[in-house]
Amino acid sequence: MFHRVALVTGASRGIGREIALTLCRSNFDIVVASPEIENNEAVAETIRQCGGDAMTLNLDVSSEESVKSGVAAALKQMGRIDVLVNNAGITRDGLAMRMKAADWNLVLQINLTGAFLVSQAVIPAMIKERWGRIVNIASVVGEMGNAGQANYVASKSGLIGLTKCLAKELASRNITVNAIAPGFIETDMTGVLPQEVKDQMMATIPLKRFGKPSDIANAVKFLASEDANYITGSVLRVNGGMYM
């Protein structure tokens, strides 16, 4: 059976891990790409147990060299990359007035420049196949803004802008590019927030529950499928109604 190949950045944990496992259940082979060897290997092993092919890549999306050599290695081993999910992301929160330039730069470098670099490295292979899907994991705050997250919000708003530019540049090559803007999803990233902040968030969510990584993974599965072949340049909000 023909399997498409999906490369998922930040696939070792949280939303990225769930995306990798969900795509695997839809008959994708997966490149599990994040900086830590052992974490990648554990996810890859789970994928193999459910019958898919998986390759691990120790990829730091913020390093041009790591991205170039990593994507080349993935193409060599898997033969193709049909779907790219730019999911890797970090936070370094603080009020803008006091934010260190290093924290600003690091968040922009990983969340935005990282997505640009991996996309740039993968696009030639997609053009060759005349088929491709890029799904960028943005955030609800990229559209809303959020006090204390100037770096993160700028990176996610930038990612939405990048999504629209790539969608226009690549449409003629049958490559679609979309963003998903998750609301509050239960992962390590949000697990560290104080209960008071979580309670305030919950009060703003009409569906009255936090999202699960599977809520995002199912949206990625849809955008990566043939069913989504007329959707490009869009931002799919998966946020329980938190922002409409």
Rule CB under 6 A: say whether 137 interacts with ligand NAP.
yes
Nearer to ligand NAP, 164 or 173 (CB): 164
Tell me if residue 121 falls in helix, strand or coil. helix
Write out the E strands in the chain: 4-9, 28-34, 54-58, 83-86, 132-137, 175-182, 235-238
CB of 230 to ligand NAP, least distance (A): 25
Interface pick for ligand NAP out of 5, 7, 10, 178 (rule CB under 6 A): 10
Residue-level length of the chain: 244
Please count the other Cβ atoms lying within 10 Å of the Cβ belonging to residue 131. 17
CB of 54 to ligand NAP, least distance (A): 15
Q: Which tokens go with 2?
A: 């023909």
Nearer to ligand NAP, 109 or 174 (CB): 109
Rule CB under 6 A: say whether 139 interacts with ligand NAP.
yes
Tell me if residue 216 falls in helix, strand or coil. helix
Number of residues that bind ligand NAP (CB under 6 A): 29
Interface pick for ligand NAP out of 123, 184, 219, 242 (rule CB under 6 A): 184
Tell me if residue 81 falls in helix, strand or coil. coil
Query: Cα separation of 44 and 150, whole Å?
Result: 34
- The residues of the shown chain that bind ligand NAP, judged by CB under 6 A, are 9-10, 12-16, 34-36, 39, 59-62, 87-90, 110, 137, 139, 182, 184-185, 187-190
Which residues are designated catalytic?
Answer: 152
